[in-house]
Amino acid sequence: MTRILFLPLLQIPSGHHHVADTIQFLLKEKGVAARCDKVDLLSYSYGKAEAMVSSCYLQWIHYMPGLYGKIYRYSAYRKASSKSRYLLYEKLFLTGMKRLLEEYKPDLAVCTHALPSYLLSHLQAKKEWKGTVINAYTDFFINDIWGVPGKGYHLVPNSESKDLLVSRGVDEEAIFVTGIPVHPLFQKENAVESSKKTVLISGGNMGAGAILNLLKSLAPNGDADYTVLCGKNRKLFEYIKQLSRPSIKPIGFIESKEEMNRLYDEAHAIITKPGGVTVSECLLKRLPIFVYDALPGQEEMNLDYLYRKGLVRQLNNWRTSNWEAQLLGSLNCSKTAGRYKEKVQDYVSQLDKRPVAEILGAILNI
């Protein structure tokens, strides 16, 4: 039986885990007889210290976003050669990775985070591991830490990422422009029919970002209903309940993908941060996307790509004015809506027409 190891990073809910879970689901749906394990390398290597690292990571982003963004761009996105070495990461995690491989003995490793990918590629190059790597990218760009495995495949978000990998010596036949993998439920275009606008607001799950200030600056006039996805953020949930505004409804953590898909189908637009998975789901649903904030680092880089391609609209001046009129004006403008649909179609048309499950089947020769 094939042994497949999924490698996100950190235990906090993230796109890395969502993509790993999606690929595991697709393999099961495809009927692949495989043992699948998902392991966070950080907690595997350092145990309870992972919780402290996760907390420090979130606090760093929240209280020093500018510093985090500068360090991220310097260390992870310098457009460096694929031959760059990250000696600190090797020192901290290579021993743990070797132990992990010895314990699980995977034939295939699916990396949804750059660090495990880098370490596995390093071990392949030293002929210390003979397995196959699939890099499944969870953002709309590829940072420099991702490894370029000698024996492996790439599920990339767009054609620009494919061109980058080809320039680094990757065989075109090993690259598949799948987009960021999302659950099949989210790949059917929504067709909301109600005349009154319904708007999803997302991005406050971990307590980071500006979602509270966004809601404080909203003065709804009754022309739209707002559903706020609070996740596990109890502070946000209770704040909205205390507002006692019928047009603003909080929803807690949603575990069911069917329920999340239903909310997408009932919405005319989403206001969110530019996380790779959420944006990818909405693009495939053809749901108009408005961005109100971006966390430093990955989300800023995502926003650079998405805004340049016309795939999202920025919600301007929301900190200083009631932004509802701007939002509804954009949604009600047929010219703007038509132009946006064209941009989304341009993006979708570059994606591989085969389902991700079929591509995975081809990779595994089933």
Structure confidence by residue, pLDDT tens digits, 88-140: 788 888 999 999 999 999 999 999 999 999 999 999 999 999 999 999 999 99
Asked if 113 and 43 touch (Cβ cutoff 8 Å), the reply is: no
Is a pLDDT exceeding 80 seen at residue 365? no
Q: How far apart are CA 101 and CA 366, in angstroms?
A: 24
> Which value, to the nearest 10 degrees, does the dihedral of the CA atoms of residues 277, 209, 235, 213 take?
-120
Higher per-residue pLDDT: 289 or 59: 289
Q: What is the pLDDT of residues 207-243, one digit of tens each?
A: 545 888 888 888 888 889 999 999 888 888 998 999 8
Q: In what order do the strands lie in the sheet with 313-314?
A: 248-252, 224-231, 197-201, 269-272, 289-291, 313-314
Report d(CA 130, CA 105) in Å as an integer.
10
pLDDT given for residue 32 in this prediction: 79
Q: What is the structure's pLDDT at 208?
A: 45
Whole-number pLDDT of residue 82: 53
